[in-house]
Structure 1
Amino acid sequence: MKLNSILNIFFRWYFCSFLRLVWLSILFQVSKNQFHCDGCGICRTGGADNFFHCDKCGCCYSYVLKDSHHCVERAMHHNCPVCFEYLFDSTKDISALHCGHTIHLECLYEMRSHKQFSCPVCLRSACDMSHAWQKLDQEVAASPMPVIYQKKMIWILCNDCGTTSNVQFHILGHKCPGCSSYNTRQTRAAPAAACSRV
């Protein structure tokens, strides 16, 4: 039996005329639907009909995100913030977060399994957290602070909307008055009533 006939039986060929590149895939695998993206300058998998190239981001996204993704210049031209693998030419599934930053989908699932729900780059919420914020509202309402802390005010920065606010201190969390998110961090405490200098 000739080598050529063996290859035709076991392999499927894909040829990119632009890059003059030949891809081999095992015949029994599901087709990878390879296509060349002129904007990216590389061949991608998944089918050209399922993706669009965003010139501002400099990469291809699923058509599901066409009118809703937040553009970040060269969004995939960096390493995944979790596993540090280069994203642009990765063969793994990639997720675009609400903030526009990109991350491997499996890394996002890994973060969620460890109760990490914010973007590792900018700290904005990585998914819709409104249900969690409602539950936290109920917990805060059911947990009054001791008298000595009831009038304590602190300054917070909201990681979701960027608003700086002066809010009442609570041990469970600090709610942003602008967007109702608890994805906040304390920036400074209220000045002490009396401070002594030595």
Structure 2
Amino acid sequence: MAGEEGAQATDHLGCEHYNRNCALIAPCCKKQYTCRICHDEKEMHELDRHQVCHVVCLKCNLEQEVAGCCKDKNCGNEFGKYFCERCRLFDNDDKNQFHCDKCGICRVGGRENFFHCDKCNVCLALLLKDNHKCVANMSHDACPVCLEDLHSSRKQMHIPPCGHLLHLACYKDLFKAGHFACPNCNQSMINMTDVWKEVDREVSETEMPEEYRNVTVDIICRDCQKKSQTKFHVLGLKCEHCGSYNTAR
């Protein structure tokens, strides 16, 4: 998925989030902040970037209406090499930013490398075109791991086979903790074939007590979503359709 604008930089005018030459006047509290993130980190409310009407030039300190350059002719400071009037976004760092009208925000990575999926309602990498599972309003939710809003998040995203979006870093953290299923739907997020073969081996080598050997149970598979009846075993209940042990009674 295309990330939202924003990245850390140093040794420049602006802040840790943006290399820019102006600050925003927050319409909600009338305070000056270099960016919406700086505002949200300090205040108990969020800044609606689209409502910002005034900025302050960081070179001459003149407050003025939103524009790409300082209106003081003696200054003429360019507020950002990239300027999006709709998002009130100024950035001197080249991240191949582009504004997506359908997302309603600026993205990074180059417009030519992404397409907007109308059903998922988000910009996705071209390699996912006709090659992903659509989930309505995919990004208009919180990350199931850290609970941060996904649509406006500046972090890299990951889309598992089930289509439930989450942060790439959160996805990796799940794996480090030994969790391989989607936090939303419990479907396996990677190919578990080799793991299931190992479980098959362990099951075959672990004999159940005689009173349980012919016991069968009804299960539903979290991977293929099919129901089946399988032999009960303490090490796992195998789906009779796809062979997965990611099942529930």
Q: Give the TM-score of the pair, scaled to structure 2.
A: 0.66
Q: Which runs of 5+ in 1 are unaligned?
A: 187-198
- Quote how far apart the aligned CAs of 1:137 are: 1.3
2:199 aligned to which of 136, 140, 153: 136
User: Which residue of structure 2 aligns with residue 16 of structure 1?
Assistant: 84
- After superposition, the C-alpha distances for 1:101-141 in whole angstroms (9 at most, x for unaligned) are 10011111011111111111111111111111111111111
* Identity percentage of aligned residues: 44
How many Å separate the matches in 2 of 1:121 and 1:20?
A: 31
- Secondary structure class of the residue paired with 1:71: coil
Q: Which of the residues 39, 43, 57 maps onto 2:102?
A: 39
Q: Deviations over 1:158-188 (max 9, x none)?
A: 11111121111111111101111110012xx
Structure 2 CA distance for aligned equivalents of residues 67 and 115 of structure 1: 31
**Partner residue, 1:181:** 244
Letter of the 2:83 partner, please give it. Answer: F
Q: Secondary structure at the match of 1:60?
A: strand
Contact (CA 8 Å) 1:13, 1:22: kept in 2 or not? no
SS of corresponding position for 1:131 = helix
Specify which structure has the higher proportion of strand. 1
> 1:87 maps to what in 2?
150
**How does 1:3-82 map onto structure 2 within 5 Å?**
3=59, 13-17=81-85, 19=86, 21-25=88-92, 31-82=94-145
AA paired with 2:216?
M
> Which residue type is aligned with residue 183 of structure 1?
N
**2:211 is matched with which residue?**
148
What's the RMSD between the two structures over aligned residues?
2.0
**Rounded Cα–Cα distance in structure 2 between residues aligned with 1:42 and 1:129:** 37
Asked if structure 2 preserves the Cα contact closer than 8 Å seen for 1:77 and 1:87, the reply is: yes
Q: Residue 243 of structure 2: SS of its match in structure 1? A: coil
Contact map agreement 2:87 2:105 (CA 8 A) in 1: no
Task: Provide the residue aligned with 1:195 in structure 2.
Answer: none
Secondary structure at the aligned position of 2:123 is classed as strand
Shift of residue 67 of structure 1?
2.1
Correspondence for 2:232 among 145, 169, 173: 169
Residue 189 of structure 2 corresponds to residue 126 of structure 1 = yes
Q: Distance in 2 between matches of 1:20 and 1:129?
A: 42
**Which structure is higher in RCO with an 8 Å CA cutoff and minimum separation 6?**
2
**In structure 2, C-alpha distance between the alignment counterparts of 1:22 and 1:98, rounded to whole Å:** 33
- How many residue pairs align between the two structures? 177
Aligned equivalents of 1:103, 1:62: Cα separation in 2: 15
Q: Name which of structure 1's ranges 140-149 and 153-162 shifts more when overlaid on structure 2.
A: 140-149
- How many Å separate the matches in 2 of 1:131 and 1:45? 37
Structure 1 residues 60 and 133, CA gap change in structure 2 (3 angstroms)? same
Report deviation, 1:64. Answer: 2.0
Contact 1:33 1:47 in 2 (8 A): yes
Q: State the Cα distance separating 1:22 from its structure 2 match.
A: 3.6
Aligned position for 1:159: 222
Shift of 1:20: 6.2
